[in-house]
Amino acid sequence: MKIFLAQQNYHIGNFEANTAKIIAAIQEAKKQGGDMVVFSELAVCGYPPRDFLEFNDFIEQCLASIEKIREAADTIGVLVGCPSRNDRPEGKDLFNSAYLLHEKEIKGIVNKSLLPNYDIFDEYRYFEPAFEWNVLNFKGKKLAVTICEDIWDLVDDPLYRLRPMDMLIRQQPDIMINLSASPFDYVHADGRKGIVKQNVLKYKLPMVYCNTIGSQTEIIFDGGSLVMSPNGDILTELPYFTEALQSVDWQDDGSFTQGVVRNTNTISPVALTPEKFEPNKSTDQIHKALLLGIRDYFGKMGFKKAIVASSGGIDSAVVLALACEALGAENVSALLLPSQFSTGHSVDDAVQLSKNLGGKYNIIAIEDIFKSFEKALDPIFMGLPFNVAEENLQSRIRGALVMAASNKFGSILLNTSNKSELATGYGTLYGDMAGGLGVLGDLYKMQVYALARFINRDKDIIPQNIINKAPSAELRHDQKDSDSLPEYDILDPILYQYIERRQGPKEIVALGNDPALVNRILKLVNTNEYKRNQFCPIIRVSPKAFGVGRRVPIVGKYLS
């Protein structure tokens, strides 16, 4: 039996495009003599559809797409993800389902059992868990079909009270097939392989695992679909961060003709968040994920052009370099907005960066605008010392100017705030926190430096002076980030323990950190939730990102 894995990038709610893409893969698989083609979880509508699932019209379009796909599934079997209706009076109205289509008929439907309700996942809000478990019969073989989370309960502290495969194995299946929408983070890929390995070793069956790719606003899916033998060898593995259609030949004796692609002995059995902060970890994967996130956000939203407020600092430099690589330098413009506090080398560095990238740039000095604001505020500010009000005023002037350019030329402003700044509130609402998409908001400052070095791996794109100089907001004379925050090599590991690993102050102090410093940092994180609540979507690359996956009360008292 020749089985194809269709690793595709879907657009949520774009039924015409998704259905056409699915049918095109079916036709190609048929052309190459395929017996079956496997697609990913909720492929028909895209994942995660969220509250679109509450619209009857949305579900009707899902089911209409299945009808079109069914017509293409004539001589070939198709396993594809799509919602289905729950006809029982009890429970929620929908299931998260996998459809087996063959001979232009729906031969079977499998419903997802384990509905994740943590981090970015909210499936139990919409779906009813499966209440029966049956293998699907196809060409004399018994298929144990599961959907994403259904295979993820093989851990020491399971979240669920049952395992679908424990039910299905009683029916003596020949193979396991899993349709997934498993998101990327920089520690997840090996953990994903580890969980597939645990399943094949436990149930002594091969697994065909099909994952989606693409970016859905903040969530990145990286693909990495694979076939694994019962002894844990990867027989074939599809590429990461790109679409692919690839086949495996499954013999009647249960073997595959493909050779071993990778032995999994060194792979962790589960996805773990490392105990220590590792700023240089998986920088190449993070780079690919951010490029995909930018491209898909623009492509799926119909945007063409981007604008970046370029300060001569490391964050704006990295964002500008990523934008030019993702969208083409001809579609990206930089706006330099120096004040009387900006150093000459910051302007020169920003200009050199744009020249290195081959992108457009303009310079608008804000000193006169700032002075006009000072004059307007004299009646209420007269005699008061220069402080954060004047600093934030500069940031808001820049925000207003760059948004004016965004509106005038139809460019989307890419935000340049990093995770260290967002965590501690080191940013100005309606100023440098403005933007349509947060590119670096899930990377700590030290990771931004690692990414800058990676971007420069072949040649100097980002001027070395930008990488080497002490970071500064340049909102007053001789200002440095370290005036307000601990050095980043001290700050970032503490933030990582609190945010990614959810460690409390006692645990973080026990790692050798100063108690007063820990309390200060954690208080900054909690008291600045109101700022993050007003921030733009952030491309997620870590196990715990700000945004939909981290829900903290704005007015909570804990550590504040």
The total number of residues written for the chain in this structure = 560
> What's residue 560's pLDDT?
67
- 99 and 247 share one domain: yes
Whole-prediction pTM value?
A: 0.96
Is residue 41 part of the annotated active site? The answer reads yes
The pLDDT score that the predictor gives to residue 257 is 82
- Residue 269 belongs to some domain of the structure: no
If one counts the domains in the chain, the total is: 2
Question: Is residue 319 situated within a structural domain?
Answer: yes
Catalytic residue, candidates 45, 148, 324, 536: 148
In this structure, the answer to whether residues 252 and 291 fall within a common structural domain is no
Instruction: Give the residues across from 109 on adjacent strands.
Output: 99
pLDDT of residue 213: 98
Q: Is 507 a catalytic residue?
A: no
Is position 545 within any domain?
no
The CATH number covering residue 516 comes to 3.40.50.620
For residues 124 and 115, give the distance between their C-alpha atoms in angstroms, rounded to a whole number. Answer: 5
Give every CB contact of residue 210 below 8 A, 6+ residues apart in sequence.
5, 6, 7, 38, 39, 40, 177, 178, 179, 180, 225
Same domain, 217 and 322: no
Position 268 in a domain: no
Task: Assess contact for 528 and 495: CB atoms under 8 A.
Answer: no
- Asked if 40 and 82 touch (Cβ cutoff 8 Å), the reply is no
Q: State whether 298 and 240 are in the same domain.
A: no
Distance, in Å, from the CA atom of 470 to the CA atom of 419, rounded to the nearest integer, reads 18
Which position among 41, 325, 391, 474 bears the catalytic label? 41
Is residue 346 in a domain?
A: yes
Same domain, residue pair 32 and 181: yes
Same domain, 397 and 322: yes
Assigned domain for 339 exists: yes
Instruction: Give the per-residue pLDDT at 33.
Output: 97
- Looking at 234, 263, 292, the residue that finishes a domain is 263
Query: Reduced to 3 states, what is the DSSP secondary structure of residue 305?
Result: strand
335 and 237 fall within a common domain: no
Q: What is the predicted pLDDT for the residue at 418?
A: 98
Q: How many CB atoms lie within 10 A of CB 519?
A: 14
Residue whose token pair is 């509106």:
407
**Which is the catalytic residue, given 21, 82, 112, 544?**
112
Whether residue 132 lies in the annotated active site: no
Are 145 and 228 in the same domain?
Answer: yes
CATH number of the domain at 98, please. Answer: 3.60.110.10
Are residues 419 and 486 located together in one domain of the fold?
yes
Per-residue burial over 88-111, b = 16 or more CB atoms within 10 Å of its CB, e = otherwise = eeeeebbbbbbbbbbeeeebbbbb
Tokens of 249: 């030949």
Whether 349 and 202 share a structural domain: no
Q: Which residues form the domain of 449?
A: 283-532
CA 20, distance to chain mean position in Å, is 25
| Same structural domain, 478 and 394 | yes
- Domain annotation covers residue 129: yes
Q: Are residues 287 and 427 in the same domain?
A: yes
Q: Tell me the pLDDT of the chain (560 aa) as tens digits.
A: 999 999 999 999 999 999 999 999 999 999 999 999 999 999 999 999 999 999 999 999 999 999 999 999 999 999 999 999 999 999 999 999 999 999 999 999 999 999 999 999 999 999 999 999 999 999 999 999 999 999 999 877 788 999 999 999 999 999 999 999 999 999 887 889 999 999 999 999 999 999 999 999 999 999 999 999 999 999 999 999 999 999 999 998 888 887 677 777 766 655 568 899 999 999 999 999 999 999 999 999 999 999 999 999 999 999 999 999 999 999 999 999 999 988 878 999 999 999 999 999 999 999 999 999 999 999 999 999 999 999 999 999 999 999 999 999 999 999 999 999 999 999 999 999 999 999 999 999 999 999 999 999 999 999 999 999 988 887 888 888 888 899 999 999 999 999 999 999 999 999 999 999 999 999 999 999 999 999 999 999 999 999 999 999 999 888 76
Q: Is the residue at 542 inside a domain?
A: no
Q: What is the pLDDT of residue 270?
A: 54
